[in-house]
Amino acid sequence: MVAYANEDPVFEVDGIPFLATGFDGARKLYAAQKPFLEKKLASQGMVLLYTVPWPPQGIYTDRELNSVADMKGLKWRAYSPATSRIAELVGAQPVTVQAAELAQAMATGLVNSFMTSGSTGYDTKAWEYVKRFYDTQAWLPKNALIMNKKAFDALDKSTQTAVLKAAANAEVRGWKTAEEKTNFYVNELAKNGMKIEKPSAQLIEGLNNVGKTMLADWLNKSGPDGKTMIDAYAK
């Protein structure tokens, strides 16, 4: 959904780094986001059926990171405004590279660090080019399945109920599978020689400060709804 952040900040909240880390945090953030997301989609003539998260985002690098100061000067793969902003805040050099080009960019030295999921790291065989994965679980972006509201409203009540029930079951199954696959991907990275690093307290502190700055940026453009959403998440 974060790809549609230019339409409305509500689509972007699950892409704010270090706001909701891990699956428990992501579920709590989704609960706070969902009423606003449903309202926005309804205004666009759509119905939200369900969401499923991507695996959490971690840092791949060829350098030991003890603090954010160690990230300065990294050639950082950027694929979105958020990842470019992270690079800016830690003093890294952002380089725009899409997922399909990532393996080549690593092989040629165009980038030597990036933040993405275990899934992308596995698919691109990141272990062939970088040897450290910092399991920061920085954010869990979500995909959403939506339906045209007129088409939904045209269904009879029993069919609507069946569709919503199927969607609810799919959401539970999807979140469970995402969590299981997260463990699979991290294990596969390790099996292929990548060192799975737990971020130090100093690194986490610095990254959390990056997240606070980016949350403040988001709140400035999201207005009262954004504040209400974050207040609900913080409870």
Whether 105 is in a domain gets the answer yes
Q: What is the pLDDT of residues 24-40, one digit of tens each?
A: 999 999 999 999 999 99
CA distance 12 to 15: 5
Percent of the residues in the chain that have a pLDDT greater than 90, as a whole number: 94
Average pLDDT in the 192-206 region? 97
In this structure, the number of other CB atoms found within 10 A of the CB of residue 170 comes to: 15
**pLDDT beyond 90 at 41:** yes
pLDDT category of residue 99 using cuts at 50, 70 and 90: confident
Total domains, the chain: 1
Whether 99 is in a domain gets the answer yes
Q: What is the pLDDT of residues 141-198, one digit of tens each?
A: 999 999 999 999 999 999 999 999 999 999 999 999 999 999 999 999 999 999 999 9
Three-state DSSP class for 19?
Answer: coil
CATH number, position 30: 3.40.190.170
Whether 208 is in a domain gets the answer yes
Q: What average pLDDT does the structure give for the chain?
A: 96
Whether 157 is in a domain gets the answer yes
pLDDT value for 100: 87
Residue-wise over 120-140: b if at least 16 C-beta within 10 A, else e? bbbebebbebbebbbbbbbbb
Whether 235 is in a domain gets the answer no
CA distance 72 to 40: 38
For residue 193, the enclosing domain spans 2-230
One-letter identity of residue 100: A
Give which of 36, 47, 77, 79 is closest to 60, Cα–Cα: 77
Whether 110 is in a domain gets the answer yes
